[in-house]
Every structure is written in C-alpha cells, then in structure tokens.
Amino acid sequence: MTTTQTRRRGRPRRTAAVLAAGAAVAGAASVPAPAHAGAPPGCGDRPATRRALERMTGGDRLTGAIVRVDDPACGSWTAASGIADRRTGAPMRAGMRGRIGSITKSFTAVAVLQLAGEGRIALDAPVARYLPGLIDRNGYDGRTITVRSLLRHTSGLPDHMDTFPTTEDFRFRHFEPRELVDRALGLPRPEGTWHYSTTNYVIAGMIIEKVTGRTWADEVERRIIAPLRLRDTYWPGDETGIRGPHPRGYVRTTEDGTVRWKDYTEMNLSAGWAGGALISSTRDVSTFFGALLGGRLLPRNLLREMRETVDADPDRVWKDAKYGLGLIRTPLRRCGGDWWGHAGGIEGFSAFGGVAPGGRRVAVLFNDGANSLKEFDDQLALVDTALCEGGGRERK
C-alpha cells in the first residue's frame, strides 16, 4: 500500500502524467456541521477549506471528497463535495466509509508500541528474536533488522507490492503474510537508507501475532478500535466489498484523449494486511489521530519515540516529510509548525489524517486518486488549509 495514490502500482510516486482534458465532474455539494454555541470568532463556516475542497472535485475533477475538521475551540465541521457513484450520480456525504490504505500502518505501529510498553516487544531487538528464519535469503538477514527499523522504513527491505505488475494481480486473491514477505525477499535491495515498504508492516503484524497468540486484527480491535469506539473502522479480511454507506472508488485513465473512470470498489486487500487494509471514515481517522497525539494510546516516553523522525524520500512520500514510527511529520505552510499524521492510498481511494500543534485535527477521504503532481499538491494544500484556517496564525 502507498502513502498516497499517485502511482499505479508499487512505489508511492508523487509524479504522474498530467490528466488530459475531459468531462467535468458533477457539481459540488457541501454542508458543514454547525459550530459550538458560544464559540469564539472565527468558528463556523470555513471558506478557504471549502474552496480547497471544491478545487479537488471541480478544477482537478476528482470524483468526490469528504473533509472533517475537529477543533478544540469550535467543535466539528464536515463537508462533502462531488459524487459518490458515477452510475447513479449520488452525491458524496459526510460519514461514508472508505479504504484508508497506509493509515493502517499507524494503527499497527501503535499496537507494537503498546506491546513494547508492556515489555513484550523490544524495539531494538532483531526480527529474528520473534520470527527466526523468516528473513534469511537473498542477502537479507533478520538478525540485523530491528523492530524499530521496520516501523521507520529503515530496514532495507523492499516492498512486496512492487512484485505485482498490475492491481488485477492481487485484487481478488488471498495472500498469507509469509507469502507476501517471500515475494519481497525475491527483490533486489533498495537503494538508500530509507525505503517505504509495506512489507515492513506485514512483518510487524506477524510479530504482534507471535507475541500475543492472537491475530493482528483482533489486537488492533481490542487495543485501539474498541476503546476509541471507532464504529466505522474494521479489517475486512477476504471481503471484497465495503460495509455500510460508502462511495464507489474510481481510477481515472486517459485513452485517446478521453478521460475514463474504472470502478475499483471491490477488492481483497489481504495483499496489504497490517500495512494497508483497514476501512474507516473521516470521523474515526480524526478520532484515532487525536487520541494518539493527545497521549491517550501511548505513554509519554513511547509517544516521544514514535515522533523521532528520519528524512523520508520525497518521491515516496512528499516534500519535506519526515518519518517516525508509523507517523509522518509535515511542515504547515499556511500557519507554521508541523502536523503529524499519515496518508494512505490504494486504487479507488486515498485518505489523509493528522493533527496540528494546537490540537486541531483533519481527516480527508477521496474516492479517486491524484493523477498529477498538481493534484497531489492540491490534496496536501487541502489538509494544510483545513488545519490552519481560523487558527489566528495563518500567514498572509
């Protein structure tokens, strides 16, 4: 799975062929939730965020989008734009569920860190302590790769997703975690010291199962989903559909100058497993990151370790991003400081979630992906705008 869906397979590239002109998406419809009664000036509607949202579905012609802002002073604000189903023309609506891709990695990292806090996993222990013999061929050695390096993407392991030439090669197949690791070990060693790899988080999920005797999905449910009452978040297993209200997920292509959308809603994401398969909503993603960065899921010392970052490859995440243990740190361009969170993408869906210094939270769900650098930058600008607007610190 990728941090963002700006490529068609394997590596989370930020660049893609610029989309040719085509038919415009149906008109936007966005309805914000009311602000808290007696909220301070600046609460209420968010015109800059609304414009950024509608830029995605209007100018960039992404099919649909939902944005949710949770503000300590103003309460919750949600808007939806574009359409949820191209066949029927049904509009996007707040509260719909979708695939959140690599945001799953943040959930898995929290579970590992909680187990570290319980003394059941040592972050600087080698993978071979927990899974002897799993990584032992083609020059890869589990005795030299630590748990911490898995979570930070500094393990030197390639990404098994790069072994699938097209989405169709995994879309309706079941994969066991060990099979995914074996696929990765057949690839050459990546260049550089940092390499985004879903395989790292598959192995982390296997370690969770080894030390607890329970499935990765059960541990994420009992440690995170249930305590936070994330009613829209679940691991679908081999189910190819999405439960409850949800948009259709689309991939745009251009053929002979004509833009076409292919429906990728149905998909078996066992290929992503602990690194990219959760389904959720903007409400739940915002709640999760708020609880995590607010200190409700991890003790202070482990949250501090989670936020210790290294430089990330901008071609595999985005410019100026730094990667911690399942968390990405990104500068806020409109108001200064950094936001912490993650992003995810798989064919048909992309999502962002994060928290600004003052505690304001944002979550965004698209049922389409960015097909160009401009579109991707517009997605990041939407997150940046939503986290800064009305905060009193916006740069002019």
Sign of the Cα torsion 161, 274, 279, 298 reads negative
What tokens were used for 377?
A: 């930058």
Which residues are identified as catalytic?
A: 102
Beta carbons of 284 and 220 less than 8 angstroms apart: no
Strand 322-323 with 258-263, pairing: unpaired
User: How far from 307 is each of 108, 138, 223, 269, 326, CA to CA, in Å?
Assistant: 15, 32, 20, 28, 9
E strands in the chain? 64-71, 75-85, 90-91, 97-99, 250-255, 258-263, 279-281, 310-311, 322-323, 328-331, 338-346, 349-355, 361-366
Residue 283 host element (H or E): helix 282-293
Beta carbons of 393 and 360 less than 8 angstroms apart: no
